[in-house]
Structure 1
Amino acid sequence: MTRHRILFFGLLIWALAMIVPDFVRAVRPLGSFGFYADSNGLIYDVAGPFESETQSPAWKAGVRAGDRLDFTRMRCIPYDAYVCASTIAAVGGNEYVLPGRQTTIDLLPTATESARDVTLIADPRPTNWFARLVLALDQIAGIAVILAAGWLVWTRPSRMTWGFFLYVIWYNPGQAYEFYAQLQRWPLLLLAQNVLGSISQAAGYAGLLVFVMRAPTGAIQPPWDRFERPLPPLAAVVAVVLMAAYGNAFGFHTELLMRATILFGIIVSVAAVAILLKRRSSLSPKDNQRLRWVMWGCLIGLPAFVIADLNEYTTLFANWDGFVLPEDIVGLLYLVNGILCLFVVEAIRRQRVVNVAIPLRRVTVLALMTSLPALLLHQQAEHLHELVELPGWSWLVIGALVLFVISRLHEWSVELADSYFNRVLDKTEKEIAGAIMSAKTAEEIDRLLSDGVARALKLASAATFRRTESGFHRFEVSVGWDDTAVRDLRAGEGAMKNLLEGETSSFEKAAAEEAGFPAELDLPIFAVPAANRLHTYAVTLYGPHEAGTDIDSNEREMLVNLGRHAADAYTRAETETLRKTIAELRAQPDLSRGMA
Structure 2
Amino acid sequence: MANDTKTHPAVLRTCVVCVLGLFVIATCLPDLRRLWQPTGDAGFVSDFGGNVTETRPDGPANRAGLRPGARLDIAATDPQYRFLAIYGTTLSAGQELRFAVEQEGQVRHIVLITDPEPMDLATKLFIITRELAMLLFVGIGAALVLLRPSPATWGFYFYCLGLHGAPDVVAPLEFGSPWNHVVWSLQGMFINAGFIGVAVFGAFFLHDKPTGWRRYVLPLAGILVLSFAITQACVWPTLNAGRSVATVGNVALGIQAFMALIAMYGLIETYVV
What band does the TM-score fall into relative to the shorter chain?
A: 0.7 to 0.9
Q: What is the CA distance between 1:66 and its match in structure 2? A: 3.2
Aligned in 2, Cα 1:228/1:107: closer, same or farther, shift over 3 Å? Answer: closer
Query: Which residue of 1 is the match for residue 86 of structure 2?
Result: 91
Residues 1:65 and 2:68 aligned together: yes
Aligned in 2, Cα 1:68/1:228: closer, same or farther, shift over 3 Å? Answer: closer
CA RMSD of aligned residues (A): 2.4
Separation in structure 2 between the aligned mates of residue 177 and residue 39 of structure 1, nearest angstrom: 17
State how 1:431-580 maps to structure 2 within 5 Å. none
Separation in structure 1 between the aligned mates of residue 55 and residue 189 of structure 2, nearest angstrom: 33
Which one has the bigger strand percentage? 2
State how 1:44-123 maps to structure 2 within 5 Å. 44-47=53-56, 53-54=57-58, 56-74=59-77, 83-91=78-86, 95-98=88-91, 99-108=93-102, 110=104, 115-123=107-115
Q: What is the CA distance between 1:245 and its match in structure 2? A: 4.4
Q: What is the CA distance between 1:148 and its match in structure 2? A: 0.9
Query: Which residue of 1 is the match for residue 210 of structure 2?
Result: 221
What code does the residue aligned with 2:263 have?
A
Q: What is the CA distance between 1:37 and its match in structure 2? A: 2.5
Query: Which residue of 2 is the match for residue 200 of structure 1?
Result: 190
Query: Which residue of 2 is the match for residue 332 of structure 1?
Result: none
Q: What is the CA distance between 1:273 and its match in structure 2? A: 0.6
Say if 2:200 and 2:263, in contact at 8 Å, map to a contact too: no
What code does the residue aligned with 2:16 have?
L
Say if 1:209 and 1:272, in contact at 8 Å, map to a contact too: yes
Q: What is the CA distance between 1:89 and its match in structure 2? A: 2.0
Query: Which residue of 1 is the match for residue 265 of structure 2?
Result: 274
Q: 1:42 aligns with which of 43, 51, 63?
A: 51
Say if 1:19 and 1:174, in contact at 8 Å, map to a contact too: yes
What code does the residue aligned with 1:64 have?
R
Aligned in 2, Cα 1:120/1:271: closer, same or farther, shift over 3 Å? Answer: same
Q: What is the CA distance between 1:146 and its match in structure 2? A: 0.6
Say if 1:39 and 1:248, in contact at 8 Å, map to a contact too: no
Query: Which residue of 2 is the match for residue 174 of structure 1?
Result: 166
Q: 1:9 aligns with which of 18, 23, 30?
A: 18
Separation in structure 1 between the aligned mates of residue 149 and residue 196 of structure 2, nearest angstrom: 17
Query: Which residue of 2 is the match for residue 430 of structure 1?
Result: none
State how 1:276-315 maps to structure 2 within 5 Å. 276-280=267-271
Separation in structure 2 between the aligned mates of residue 109 and residue 204 of structure 1, nearest angstrom: 37
Q: Secondary structure at the match of 1:106?
A: strand
Residues 1:191 and 2:181 aligned together: yes
Q: Secondary structure at the match of 2:53?
A: strand
Q: What is the CA distance between 1:233 and its match in structure 2? A: 1.8
Aligned in 2, Cα 1:240/1:89: closer, same or farther, shift over 3 Å? Answer: same
Say if 2:74 and 2:99, in contact at 8 Å, map to a contact too: no
Q: What is the CA distance between 1:6 and its match in structure 2? A: 1.8
Identity rate, percent: 20
Say if 1:37 and 1:90, in contact at 8 Å, map to a contact too: no
Query: Which residue of 2 is the match for residue 153 of structure 1?
Result: 145
TM-score by length of structure 1 reads 0.41
Runs of 4 or more above 6 Å deviation: none
TM-score by length of structure 2 reads 0.84
Aligned in 2, Cα 1:125/1:234: closer, same or farther, shift over 3 Å? Answer: closer
Higher Cα Rg: structure 1 or 2?
1
Q: 2:37 aligns with which of 21, 28, 45?
A: 28
Aligned in 2, Cα 1:249/1:140: closer, same or farther, shift over 3 Å? Answer: farther
Asked which structure has the greater RCO (Cα within 8 Å, sep 6+), the reply is 2
* 1:359-399 Cα distance to aligned partner (Å, 9 max, x none): xxxxxxxxxxxxxxxxxxxxxxxxxxxxxxxxxxxxxxxxx
Say if 1:70 and 1:107, in contact at 8 Å, map to a contact too: yes
Residues 1:236 and 2:226 aligned together: yes
Q: Secondary structure at the match of 2:17?
A: helix
Separation in structure 1 between the aligned mates of residue 241 and residue 144 of structure 2, nearest angstrom: 40
Aligned in 2, Cα 1:201/1:58: closer, same or farther, shift over 3 Å? Answer: closer
Query: Which residue of 1 is the match for residue 118 of structure 2?
Result: 126
* 1:301-327 Cα distance to aligned partner (Å, 9 max, x none): xxxxxxxxxxxxxxxxxxxxxxxxxxx
Q: What is the CA distance between 1:88 and its match in structure 2? A: 1.8
**Structure 1: 5+ residue stretches without partners:** 48-52, 75-82, 283-596
Separation in structure 2 between the aligned mates of residue 255 and residue 105 of structure 1, nearest angstrom: 20
